[in-house]
Amino acid sequence: MSRSFVCRWSVIVIAAGAALACSGRRDPPKIPLAKGGADSANAVEAAHALIGPAAKAALDSGNVLFRKKAYAAALAQYRAASALAPQHSAPLFGIYMVARATNNPAMADSALAGIRLRSGTMTPAPHVLTDTALQRMHANFRERPSAG
């Protein structure tokens, strides 16, 4: 047999084996939700139940508008969703994303603090520096030159 004949059939056999291996039943991805197992699945279902259909519609509308870069309209939808589902953090995440896209750090920080409070897992940073605090620190450094 010629070498090219063997190579050609080897490629065909490997391709057929790969096609057979990839065909068939596909299992869902085995990604655990969290360490809690069934409790985690229940927590996810409970979180989805908190948002309600009107808030979910406003949230989805905000997401569509955000993708179209209609940030003012998206922000209005996210705020409406936040008012309809005050215990859910997803609308606040939308507000955070609009704030990042529009370069509004104050709104982004506020939304992030709200997300932390609503999630219950993290508390807001106790030492957030405001512009006034930064200006005072800068003035103090100018008044006291470093020793050196």
Q: How many residues does the chain have?
A: 148
In the chain, the amino acid numbered 16 is A
9 token code pair: 């059939």
Compute the chain's Rg from CA coordinates: 27
Structure tokens that stand for 109 in this block? 């920080």
CB atoms within 10 A of CB 47: 14
What was the pLDDT predicted at 102?
94
pLDDT at residue number 30: 47
Residue 64: count of CB within 10 angstroms of its CB: 12
Instruction: Give dist(CA 68, CA 76) in Å, integer.
Output: 14
Q: How would you class 101 by CB atoms within 10 Å of its CB: exposed for 0-12, middle for 13-18, buried for 19 or more?
A: middle
CATH 1.25.40.10 for domain 48-122, yes or no, is yes
pLDDT per residue rounded down to tens, the chain (148 residues): 667 766 677 777 777 666 666 665 555 554 444 555 555 566 656 666 668 889 899 999 999 999 999 999 999 999 999 999 888 888 999 999 999 999 999 999 999 998 888 876 544 454 455 556 556 655 665 555 554 4
Q: Quick one: pLDDT at residue 12?
A: 77
The amino acid occupying position 103 is: N
Check residue 107 and give its pLDDT: 92
Distances (CA, A) of 134 to 19, 114, 137, 138: 62, 23, 5, 6
pTM value is 0.53
Q: Tell me the one-letter amino acid at 139.
A: A
| The pair of three-digit structure tokens given for residue 129, joined into one six-digit string | 């520096």
